[in-house]
């Protein structure tokens, strides 16, 4: 241990919240610098991703996709694939996976010599954190602190909504029945992933979105295509719909009233899921007392090194306003790791990184770089190639040909942006990302020898379709 301080409440490094970036910082720095390190966690060891977010939701979605595959098995020549959904068993499979992940996390904390302090943490000074847990109250001090408190579901201030006890992503993954009619408020990532899964498990689903389209950041051809695919599976969409009041209770009967495209609107369902965005967990944890500034939207303000307004305090992940993805939080870990290890700072590391994402509907939506509408709005010159997913020949073998891919190419032949709505599309991202990162011309991908018939092989045809410079 490097700490020269023999006080049992003093640490070289304290991490508040054990989410993605925080845990990796602790696991890496404690053994490398021999720092006395502790992570304070109130409930979910390892953060949201393994407990209540990414991994459990994908586990749940996978069960729903098996139901769907069984239902369409006859179209693949397989008969008698009758299915019955046992929701308790679906949830138990998810819990079993989470238990395994928790064992893995406990092992890592142990192996890397990082102490876990269970309890609710709060700053009570610039270098002091008070922790209230089962064992009572402790005040800890540290030379360096990382704030990694994450975010939580936002429940809008609509009259009756809170009283209706809406589901969030946490409760929806603890249901022991398939809702008869699920109303999903919000047509974003969480809304659409759970919409399709619940529909595939047998629920009627209505999605209510206040904007004119779902996934408002995406190009309209992409969001329209995904919406069409989900509608074909029987999902009802109500866009441009503003909910003004809610009555009843989720779990029995719940009614939402408002306007849809200016006309009176009402819908009644058995359950409601709130998927209308996130709130950073930054209030009531004494940040102001510690001299740590927040942005107007309540995120912890950080510089390119993720340093807060207080020199030895860093903030990472959702609470710092980093794009809400686990892989971005992991990159936050790399930034802080390098600062703590004294490596030379890379200019604009935080603001210039790639932010790819995959939406785990079927088909998946994968994207990196500039979107078409963004390129148009900033007036950048580009050439575009589009290819329907049936041009990726592997999709024909699967019988899952819906969607399309597109790529935007700059005048100097580098890749500006890539989007694919297609089966397994997320797996197409890394090769494109690498070419973008290295500034390679798109022709390097067009000329690759890629195994036939893999999905990636389709990239050759997509990139070969880029028009010649005009």
Ligand X SMILES: Cc1cc2nc3c(=O)[nH]c(=O)nc-3n(C[C@H](O)[C@H](O)[C@H](O)COP(=O)(O)OP(=O)(O)OC[C@H]3O[C@@H](n4cnc5c(N)ncnc54)[C@H](O)[C@@H]3O)c2cc1C
Ligand Y SMILES: NC(=O)c1ccc[n+]([C@@H]2O[C@H](COP(=O)([O-])OP(=O)(O)OC[C@H]3O[C@@H](n4cnc5c(N)ncnc54)[C@H](O)[C@@H]3O)[C@@H](O)[C@H]2O)c1
List binding-site positions.
58, 121, 149-151, 186-193, 209, 277, 318
Q: Is 74 a catalytic residue?
A: no
Q: Nearest distance from residue 44's CB to ligand X, in Å?
A: 4
CA–CA distances in Å: residue 444 to residues 269, 381, 388, 411, 465: 52, 21, 21, 15, 13
Q: Nearest distance from residue 49's CB to ligand X, in Å?
A: 4
Binding test (CB under 6 A) with ligand X, winner from 24, 25, 37, 48: 48
Q: Nearest distance from residue 127's CB to ligand Y, in Å?
A: 32
Per CB under 6 A, 282 contacts ligand X: no
Q: Answer with the entry of ligand X, ligand Y, none that 327 interacts with (C-beta below 5 to 8 A by kind).
A: ligand X
Question: Which of the residues 187 through 246 are near ligand X (CB under 6 A)?
Answer: 190
Q: Nearest distance from residue 88's CB to ligand X, in Å?
A: 20
The Cα 430–Cα 455 span in angstroms is: 13
Compare residues 127 and 281 and give the one whose CB is closer to ligand X.
Answer: 281
The Cα 68–Cα 63 span in angstroms is: 9
What's the gap between Cα 37 and its chain centre? 28
- Dig out the tokens for 53 from the structure: 């977010």
Q: Nearest distance from residue 387's CB to ligand Y, in Å?
A: 23
Task: Report which of 382, 380, 407, 386 is spatially closest to residue 469, judged by C-alpha positions.
Answer: 382
- Dig out the tokens for 423 from the structure: 């089966």
Per rule CB under 6 A, count of chain residues that contact ligand X: 36
The residues that touch ligand Y, with contacts defined as CB under 6 A, are 156, 185-191, 193, 208-211, 216, 243, 275-278, 324-325, 357-360
Per CB under 6 A, 150 contacts ligand X: yes
Q: Is 117 exposed, middle or buried (0-12, 13-18, 19+ CB in 10 A)?
A: buried
101 SS3 class:
helix
Q: Answer with the entry of ligand X, ligand Y, none that 317 interacts with (C-beta below 5 to 8 A by kind).
A: ligand X
The Cα 273–Cα 287 span in angstroms is: 31
Compare residues 258 and 317 and give the one whose CB is closer to ligand X.
Answer: 317
Q: Answer with the entry of ligand Y, ligand X, none that 17 interacts with (C-beta below 5 to 8 A by kind).
A: ligand X
Q: What is the rounded (10 degree) CA torsion for 261, 267, 273, 279?
A: 40
Residues making up the binding site for NAD(+): 186-193, 209, 277
**Ranges assigned E (strand) in 148-282:** 151-153, 181-185, 204-208, 236-238, 241-249, 253-260, 263-269, 271-274, 278-280
Percentage helix, strand, coil for the chain under 3-state DSSP, each rounded to 5: 35, 25, 40
Phi, psi of 130 (to 5 degrees): -90, 135
Q: Which residue lies nearest ligand X, judged by its C-beta?
A: 19
Which of 181, 327, 367, 452 is catalytic? The answer is 452
Question: Which of the residues 404 through 463 are near ligand X (CB under 6 A)?
Answer: none
Binding test (CB under 6 A) with ligand X, winner from 208, 329, 366, 425: 329
Q: Answer with the entry of ligand Y, ligand X, none that 44 interacts with (C-beta below 5 to 8 A by kind).
A: ligand X
Residues making up the binding site for FAD: 58, 121, 149-151, 318
Q: Answer with the entry of ligand Y, ligand X, none that 363 interacts with (C-beta below 5 to 8 A by kind).
A: none
Pairing of β 115-118 and β 37-41:
parallel
Per CB under 6 A, 182 contacts ligand X: no
Q: Which residue lies nearest ligand Y, judged by its C-beta?
A: 188
Per CB under 6 A, 53 contacts ligand X: yes
Task: Report which of 236, 234, 244 is spatially closest to residue 265, judged by C-alpha positions.
Answer: 244
Q: Answer with the entry of ligand Y, ligand X, none that 148 interacts with (C-beta below 5 to 8 A by kind).
A: ligand X
The Cα 40–Cα 146 span in angstroms is: 10
Residues near ligand X (CB under 6 A)? 16-22, 40-44, 47-49, 53-54, 57, 120-121, 148-150, 169, 190, 281, 285, 317-319, 324-327, 329, 360
Q: Which residues are catalytic?
A: 452
């Amino acid at each position: 241990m490097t700490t020269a301080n023999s006080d049992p409440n003093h640490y070289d490094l304290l991490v508040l919240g054990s989410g993605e970036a925080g845990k990796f910082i602790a696991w890496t720095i404690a053994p490398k610098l021999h720092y006395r390190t502790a992570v304070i966690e109130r409930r979910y060891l390892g953060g949201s991703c393994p407990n209540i977010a990414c991994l459990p939701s994908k586990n749940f979605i996978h069960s729903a996709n098996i139901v769907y595959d069984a239902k369409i098995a006859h179209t693949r020549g397989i008969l008698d694939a009758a299915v019955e959904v046992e929701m308790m068993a679906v949830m138990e499979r998810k819990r079993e996976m989470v238990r395994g992940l928790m064992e893995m996390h406990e092992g890592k904390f142990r192996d890397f010599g990082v102490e876990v302090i269970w309890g609710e943490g709060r700053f009570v000074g610039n270098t002091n954190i008070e922790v209230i847990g089962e064992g009572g109250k402790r005040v800890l001090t540290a030379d360096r602190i990382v704030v990694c408190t994450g975010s939580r579901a936002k429940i809008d201030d609509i009259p009756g909504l809170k009283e209706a006890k809406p589901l969030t992503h946490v409760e929806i993954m603890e249901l022991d029945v398939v809702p008869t009619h699920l109303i999903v408020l919000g047509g974003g990532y969480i809304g659409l992933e759970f919409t399709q899964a619940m529909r595939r498990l047998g629920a009627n689903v209505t999605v209510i979105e206040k904007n004119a389209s779902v996934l408002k950041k995406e190009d309209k051809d992409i969001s329209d295509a995904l919406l069409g695919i989900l509608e074909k599976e029987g999902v009802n969409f109500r866009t441009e719909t503003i909910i003004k009041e809610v009555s009843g209770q989720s779990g029995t009967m719940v009614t939402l009233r408002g306007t849809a495209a200016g006309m009176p609107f009402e819908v009644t369902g058995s359950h409601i899921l709130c998927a209308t965005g996130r709130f950073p967990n930054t209030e009531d944890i004494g940040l102001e007392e510690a001299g740590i500034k927040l942005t107007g939207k309540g995120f912890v303000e950080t510089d390119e090194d993720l340093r807060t307004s207080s020199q030895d305090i860093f903030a990472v992940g959702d609470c710092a306003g980093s794009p809400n993805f686990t892989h971005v939080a992991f990159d936050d870990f790399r930034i802080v790791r390098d600062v703590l290890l004294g490596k030379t700072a890379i200019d604009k590391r935080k603001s210039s990184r790639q932010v790819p994402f995959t939406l785990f509907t079927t088909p998946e939506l994968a994207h990196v770089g500039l979107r078409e509408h963004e390129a148009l709005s900033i007036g950048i010159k580009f050439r575009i190639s589009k290819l329907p997913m049936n041009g990726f020949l592997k999709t024909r073998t699967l019988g899952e040909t819906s969607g399309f891919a597109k790529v935007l190419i700059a005048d100097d032949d580098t890749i500006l942006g890539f989007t694919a709505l297609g089966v397994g599309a997320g797996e197409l991202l890394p090769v494109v990302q690498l070419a973008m990162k290295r500034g390679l011309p798109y022709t390097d991908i067009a000329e690759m020898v890629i195994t036939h018939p893999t999905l990636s092989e389709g990239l050759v045809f997509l990139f070969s379709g880029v028009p010649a410079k005009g």
